[in-house]
Amino acid sequence: MLNFVKVVCCGSGPITSKANSRVKHARKVLTNRRVREREGLIFVEGIRLVLDAVAAKNEPEVLFFTDRAMSKGEYGAAMQKLISTLPHDRVVYSSEEIMQHLTDTENCQGVAAVLKKKQAIAPAQPSLVLALDRLSDPGNVGTLIRTAAGAGAHAVFLTKGSADPFGLKTLRAGMGAQFRIPVLPNWEWSDIESYSRERGLALIVADGSGDVRHYSYDWKEPSMLVVGAEADGPSEEVLKSADCCVSIPLAEDSAESLNAAVAGAVILFEAQRQRIVG
């Protein structure tokens, strides 16, 4: 490991100053959504997420690493290989204190990166799409993106007012699914509706008062599933656009409704089941 650091960093010790310009900028990217979106950047922490992001053609602007990252067996070897392919001025050997400052993670793996985000493209002819209407919880958003990828959806759209799908909490909840499926944030609902109509997608809204059971709808038809905000559900604008509102039947003595991420997962995997069964 010592020889590797010397080669990468010309023998210098780790940076230790929070005033370092690259550390300060990385913190801005981590903590400020406006900075991320204005500069087209994302902040990623952890070996798996960094490797997934790079494999998906998100170009590293700067990669921070500590001795700890290189001691993790197969993953450490993968990080060494990645670091060896980057220009030296994009690699920063960091102290544990700086890495802790960058990540705010209790058990940090010793790797973090600022990357230029690859531009997502809305699919031309999808058959199953997920739209999130003003979901504000990063955990729910990340979980639903991960679920959509696992259920074979072709894209995830988010209306303005939704949590940032590329914030670090959301990336962690999504386990990097954002790098495996097109994720398109900050859309007006009217534009999402136009997109779906132009591509022949039925607008199917998840709503607790929907009069069609989620398993009774024919998910083999090209469809866009819409999941509304945690507290308020789908907006009036969304409900007016709906071709169908589906609900998940609950036991009589159960909770009033399901968590948004759970409800979305139940419906998405019912859609997958129908498509597999035929």
Q: What domains are there in the chain, each with its CATH number?
A: 2-116 (3.30.1330.30), 128-277 (3.40.1280.10)
Q: pLDDT by residue (tens digit) across 219-234?
A: 999 999 999 998 889 9
pLDDT band at 2 (very low <50, low <70, confident <90, very high): very low
C-alpha separations of 146 from 5, 172, 233, 257 in Å: 35, 10, 21, 22
CB neighbour burial string for 167-204, b if at least 16 within 10 angstroms, e if fewer: bbebbbbbbbbbbbbbbbbebebeebbebbeebebbbb
Q: pLDDT by residue (tens digit) across 37-50?
A: 999 999 999 999 99
Average pLDDT of span 29-58: 96
Q: Which region holds residue 165: left if phi is over 0, alpha if psi is between -120 and 50, else beta?
A: alpha
Distance CA 268, CA 148 (A): 7
